[in-house]
Structure 1
């Protein structure tokens, strides 16, 4: 049994999620995000489940961490992958099982929902700690590399 309660994020969590994402971008990529754009993006997702879902882990009435899931249709599998994104755990709460509680909750939800064929995530190449955590939870590195271009 987890020491954390997991729930779907609501608009009441908007400021927390904005702060988490801004901190994560600064920590992982040394990027300063535009707060107005970030707030609008998170608000849009919280209002439209088709865009994705946020879950938060709470302990003692305080949000300790959060993650977002979006979906990608796989024609090869005739199912949807849930992409785990925007993972953030408050620094003082790290290595205490917050991500594991969130991950297990999402995995359980995915297993219960028909049409979900797997969970995926991406991670910075140098983030050895996160990679070890994902592998310890049974996730495996894939053969894919990611490319992108802005439009």
Structure 2
């Protein structure tokens, strides 16, 4: 277990604890990423199926670097099965693999705010709606508000107050 060398006592405990949940609290520059990376490698080394490991990072770059470090310990074929990435990338992957359960194709497109704003502009133009009166960003904010409040299209059209 060459990968355990160079860890201090607290890091060693965090990496090698196998039973139950574990919380790692540490300040900047204390080796958290190294500990988490080595912990995942240690779990795989101790026969935890990589497919059963979920690791969320703040950036895709961090996920890539962590996977590369893990692959050096357990091998590329094992590391590629870990569910690792940003919240958005991991859950998009889950949605794609499970899309058929909700009647969606797995190759659906996820629009960011700029994409949706462009669609709103296009729809306003196609329907000859005055974009000075119905400002695209305000329309977008209103749609977002309704979605956040779980208001469906049917509920919207059945509520005169919302329409007004």
Say which structure, 1 or 2, has more relative contact order (CA 8 Å, 6+ apart). Answer: 1
Give the TM-score taking structure 2 as reference length. 0.24
* Higher normalized strand content (fraction of residues): 1
The structure having more radius of gyration, on CA atoms, is 2
